[in-house]
Amino acid sequence: MKRRILILSAPATLALILFYACGSSQSASTIDPNAVVTATYSSISSHILQNGCVGCHGGSGGYSFDSYSNTMKAVAAGSPSSSLLYRSISSGSMPQSGTHPSSAQIQVISDWITAGAQNN
Ligand code: HEC
């Protein structure tokens, strides 16, 4: 009897997880840790900054990641370890809420900064 309940509830649980997973990705304000991000400003901006940072860092006051020039206020081109953008994400302190980028995506941010943090 116990076994039967387990068999019946597994698909229901899966359906529930899928339902919530799909629902949250549609809200467009969460980083997708599976998205393939390339080491360009446009890719990092559209996958990481717009989805995971601009909700809190989009206006005036404090750091803003809504444009290349504003983003560069937290970036030291050539040096990820001197860049608050990279340090805040790699330390895990940012984003303060929501999904965190994967370690592969964090590496891509480091690569972009190392290569000169171009507006590409
Ligand atoms: C839920 C809101 C929220 C989100 C989302 C968020 N931040 Fe923040 N962030 C804050 C707040 C509040 C502060 C100021 C307080 C603090 O330093 O902890 C802050 C501070 C910072 C700072 C300054 C840290 C310092 O040492 O001065 C940086 C850089 C930063 N965030 C980067 C990011 C990046 C990059 C993202 C996206 C990956 C992000 N944040 C997402 C709320 C957020």
**Quick check: 64 and 70 in contact, CB under 8 A?**
yes
Task: Give the model confidence (pLDDT) of 27-50 as tens digits.
Answer: 457 999 999 999 999 999 999 999
Q: How far is the CA of 81 from the centre of ligand 1 (A)?
A: 17
The protein residue whose alpha carbon is closest to atom 25 in ligand 1 is: 84
Question: pLDDT higher for 77 or 22?
Answer: 77
Q: How many domains does the chain have?
A: 1
User: Domain span at residue 12?
Assistant: 2-114
Q: How far is the CA of 78 from the centre of ligand 1 (A)?
A: 22
> Would 40 be classed as within a structural domain?
yes
Task: Please determine, for residue 75, whether its predicted confidence score (pLDDT) is greater than 90.
Answer: yes
Question: pLDDT higher for 96 or 23?
Answer: 96
Question: Is residue 12 classed as helix, strand or coil in its secondary structure?
Answer: helix
Q: How far is the CA of 95 from the centre of ligand 1 (A)?
A: 6
> Would 109 be classed as within a structural domain?
yes
Task: Please determine, for residue 90, whether its predicted confidence score (pLDDT) is greater than 50.
Answer: yes
> Would 119 be classed as within a structural domain?
no
Q: Using pLDDT thresholds of 50, 70 and 90, give the confidence band for residue 59.
A: confident
> Would 95 be classed as within a structural domain?
yes
Is 85 close to ligand 1, i.e. is its CB under 6 Å away?
A: yes
Q: What pTM, to 2 d.p., does this model score? A: 0.82
